[in-house]
Every structure is written in C-alpha cells, then in structure tokens.
Amino acid sequence: QVPSNSHLWAKPASAATTFAADEQNNIDVYKTAREATVNITSRVYRQDWFFQVYPEDGTGSGFIINRDGQILTNYHVVRGSSQLTVKLADMKSYRAKVLGTDSRNDLALIRIDAGRPLPTLGLGDSDHLLVGQKVLAIGNPFGLEGTLTTGIVSSLNRGIDSEDNRRLEGMIQTDAAINPGNSGGPLLDSHGSVIGINNAIL
C-alpha cells in the first residue's frame, strides 16, 4: 500500500505547462488549421448487376480558402457526386455545390453558405520547398475528423498516375501518414501555410 503522502504518483498529463519547441509548433499550427479544415461526404448513385440503383458515400477532406465558404479539395473527392455535404470543425454540416474542377491537376473548388464568416487557411509557397523540412497534414482518415500527422518533405517533383490514369507531375512526397479520407486536406509548413493538398498513398 502506498502512503497517502507519497510523492510517487505520476503527474497528470494535463498538468504539463511547457512543451518542446517542436511540440508547441505542432499544437499552434493544429489549433489554427483545424478550424479551417473540413470533412466532405460525397454521395454517388451506382447501379448493381441487377440494375438496381443504390447510394454510395465516400469521404474526403478540404480546407476553406475565403471567409465566404469557398473550399479547395481534390477532384476525385467530388467526381460524379450528386450530393456533397461539408462538416465544419464545430460539427455543423452544410450542403455544398461545385464551382469548378481541374481534373488534370486533381483539384476542385466547392462552396458552402454558412451564413457567417468562416476561418480560412492561407496558401504558401511550394516552389521553394526543401527535402527534409517539416510538414503537417490534417484531414479525416477513415472518417476520423481532425486528425493531425507530421513528417518531412521526403522528395520533390514526383510523378504518379491518378485514379483515372492521368499523370500528375510535380508532386510532393512526404512520410507524414496519409490514408483514405485525407484526400483534399491541407499539407502545411511549420508556419501553418498550405504548401500542398493531400492526394494519394502509394
């Protein structure tokens, strides 16, 4: 039995008052970027072998780029959708409409009307990235909203084939964990600026 005046009890994690500089950077970037990162549900109607039509939902991510509710995401997140639903960090959901798509670069711009100014993320500079610099990814892998992963730029100017067999060039390779549902979410630098859009896992 441990005496009641023992000092052996572990200090609760919540009592921590200081973090390493890199930890604090992760926390600060996440607090800001999480508010502007969204969960996107795309409903597509498909036909089975018996010509019966059924709905199929897919999930992805996106991020708000202006206070009026315009959101950047991947084209493959919204492709073929008959209904788009966007869930914000405050868990409120809104129907979205597609404003434009660029299938060649796997990009889409959609919009919601939240009736209020929304938090946004700023676009950074991806032309001067260096292999080894820190990156952070926020998204909804497997439908788990607001997930943060971190890593580094592993390589630059990669080329990959998209789902519709288009060649995507100039891609950023990172070792930050990216999973289904991360597509369309922001890849951020240590200042919290968007330097890429999470797209694919090989």
**Among residues 61, 76, 81, 189, which one is catalytic?**
76
Q: How many CB atoms lie within 10 A of CB 69?
A: 22
Rounded to a whole number of angstroms, the CA Rg of the chain reads 20
Number of H helices, E strands in the chain: 2, 11
User: Looking at the chain, which runs of residues are DSSP E strands?
Assistant: 37-47, 53-64, 70-73, 83-87, 93-102, 107-112, 134-139, 147-161, 167-174, 186-188, 194-197
Closest by CA to 74, choosing from 147, 162, 176, 167, is 162
Q: Is 191 a catalytic residue?
A: no
| 106 among known catalytic residues | yes
Annotation says 82 is catalytic: no
| Catalytic residue of the set 42, 61, 81, 183 | 183
CA angle 17, 28, 175 (to 5 degrees): 110
Q: Using CA atoms, how far apart are residues 136 and 148, in angstroms rounded to an integer?
A: 7
SS3 breakdown of the chain: % helix, strand, coil, rounded to 5?
15, 40, 45
The one catalytic residue among 106, 155, 161, 164 = 106
Catalytic residue set = 76, 106, 183
